[in-house]
Amino acid sequence: MDPSDDLAWMPAWQVRDLVAAREVSPVAVVQASLRRIETLNPKLNAFVNVCADEALDQARAAEAAVLRGDALGPLHGVPVAIKDEAWVAGVRTRAGSLLFEDFIPDADAVPVRRLREAGAVIVGMTNVPEFMGWSRTANRLIPETVNPWDLRRSPGASSGGSGAALASGMVPIAIGSDGGGSIRIPSAANGVVGLFPTPGRVPDTNSFSYAYIGSLGPMARNVRDVATMIDVMAGPDGVDQRFAGPASDCLGGLDRGVAGLRFAWTPDFGYIATDPRVAERVRAAALGLALAGAAVEEPGLVFDDVWEWFGAQIQGHAAFSGQPPPFLAAPAFKALCRQPENYERLCEYSQRRKVDAAPLTAEAFATTQARTRALKRQFDTLFETYDAILSPTLPVTAPLLPEGLADPYPTFCCGTYFTAVANLAELPAASFPCGFVDGLPVGLQVIGRRGREDTVLQVCRALEQLTAPEDRARRPAWLA
């Protein structure tokens, strides 16, 4: 076995500790990551852009810092993948679109800059649907990303590239983004951990992000790495005006346990047609928290189908709030994306959606606001009794990829049925890999109170400690 295989599956926290102890060189770590990307990316299409030379320069600088005895950040020498949405200075960043094929930003996105300052080494940009707006990780730049657990299946969208890169051992940590489930869905489909932070917790300054209820966020193969990442990435920047409340120490509170906490479990939110095998796998994991001292109840939760107004809420906020997302308001976007003569450069799905669709009326937006406020009140009531809400992340396992433009899920947007409520209610939520159905990963979603990413990850850590070691170490068979 190639010794670099050990590095490929090693958690970020352990890589950093070995680097700090001078037991492994950051250059060797990054070289191992780049070799694995070179070997596997032609099969998976997880990376749309690999920054090999830049990464090796960063790794050599990281090694020099170790040899000088400098103070080292919590991710020193650790390779990280960046979703092709967050800008990376000097690196082509395209949001999956030919319209931005020549765009090279001159500034990092805020979380990218913070990861750099923590010592992480950027190895490349992961694939996305064009403008992160489709249920498939596909665009006209490279072939569609596929799932390492079954190359015929979806890796989730729109952070499917980051999910596939993690599940195949290309990198130990990655940035994703989530405007309706796009961190949690690929985390479930690929068997990794992903956190959707409270909107505003991680600034989206200098990115292609456009949904006020969305967030850039961390993805990894274990909970400790996710907690480390969110602690590094979080905090106001003075530009992103969304307020998430005071941040908690996620890493420091990770092992508090769940004894005395109370959770509500639901297999379907009252209306979702969940695969019974998925529901049972998640139920077993959720009820297992009782072994750690928690109370887990099934109160019969019933939510409305939020997709009736989800898109209108985002569109209306951009139009009527007086705070249009910087990306959508930018002259470059208007010039490139709003001109009919440029439509032929868009992928077919984007052409069909017509990015210049008729705007929402103020009256219609008022209706969506009322429904969103009612949803938030419903969660407020639940959190008077419960510390977190537990559900499946997806109603199915990773679906087969169909031909053409067809949606891979059984019904339109069913992939986001469990996840979008957290976005609309602006609540942190995570997906934790809780087992397998027919050899495919299954995710358990944890939704917490606004601003309480620490509690969400505390629950995920308890789930991780209850997971059988053989399941925690399980990998796609062809990569084992």
What per-residue confidence (pLDDT) applies to 411?
Answer: 78
Domain span holding position 378: 4-479
Say which of 154, 158, 177, 350 is annotated catalytic.
Answer: 158
Q: How would you classify residue 428: left for phi > 0, otherwise alpha for psi between -120 and 50, otherwise beta? A: beta
391 in catalytic set: no
By three-state DSSP, how is residue 81 classified?
Answer: strand
Name which of 185-199, 288-302, 304-318 the model is least confident about.
Answer: 304-318
Judged by phi (left if over 0) then psi (alpha if -120 to 50, else beta), residue 196 lies in beta
CA 124 to chain CA centroid, nearest Å: 16
Mean pLDDT for 203-230 is 95
CA–CA distance from 106 to each of 92, 232, 235, 389 (Å)?
A: 10, 22, 22, 41
Q: How far is CA 107 from CA 4, 92, 94, 113, 206, in A?
A: 32, 12, 14, 9, 7
Lowest mean pLDDT among 122-126, 259-263, 467-471: 467-471
Average pLDDT for residues 408-422, to the nearest whole number?
Answer: 87
pLDDT > 70: what percent of the chain? 93
Residues 200 and 198: their CA atoms lie apart, in Å, by 6
Question: CA 254, CA 227: separation in Å to the nearest integer?
Answer: 8
Query: Residue 445's closest CA among 75, 222, 194?
Result: 194
CA dist 464 and 473 (Å) reads 12
Distance CA 334, CA 110 (A): 23
| Residue 210 · residue 325 · CB < 8 Å | yes
Q: Which residue has the higher pLDDT, 43 or 241?
A: 43
pLDDT in tens, 320-362: 877 766 666 666 666 776 677 677 777 777 776 654 456 788 8
pLDDT tens digits for range 381-399: 999 999 999 999 999 999 9
Q: Compute CA 467 distance to the chain's CA centroid, rounded to the nearest angstrom.
A: 22
Count of domains forming the chain? 1
Which has more pLDDT, 221 or 319?
221
Mean pLDDT for 299-314 is 90
Handedness of CA 195, 199, 201, 207 (dihedral sign): positive
Catalytic residue among 97, 162, 177, 182, which?
Answer: 182
Return d(Cα 390, Cα 372) in angstroms, integer: 20
Instruction: Give the SS3 label for residue 252.
Output: coil
Q: Is 33 exposed, middle or buried (0-12, 13-18, 19+ CB in 10 A)?
A: buried
Cβ neighbors of 359 (< 8 A, separation 6 or more) are: 315, 319
pLDDT at 144 over 50: yes
Place of tokens 């887990």: 296
- 25, 33, 83, 168: the catalytic one is 83
Tens digit of each residue's pLDDT (9 = 90 or more) over 451-473: 999 999 999 999 999 999 999 89
Q: 3 pLDDT exceeds 60?
A: no
Residue 158: active-site member: yes
pTM metric for this prediction:
0.96
CA distance 64 to 297: 53
Contact by Cβ (8 Å): 423, 181: yes
Answer yes or no: are the C-beta atoms of 414 and 424 closer than 8 Å: no
- Active site (annotated) includes residue 334: no
pLDDT at 1: 39
Q: What CATH number does the domain containing 411 carry?
A: 3.90.1300.10
Distinct helix (H) and strand (E) counts, the chain? 17, 11
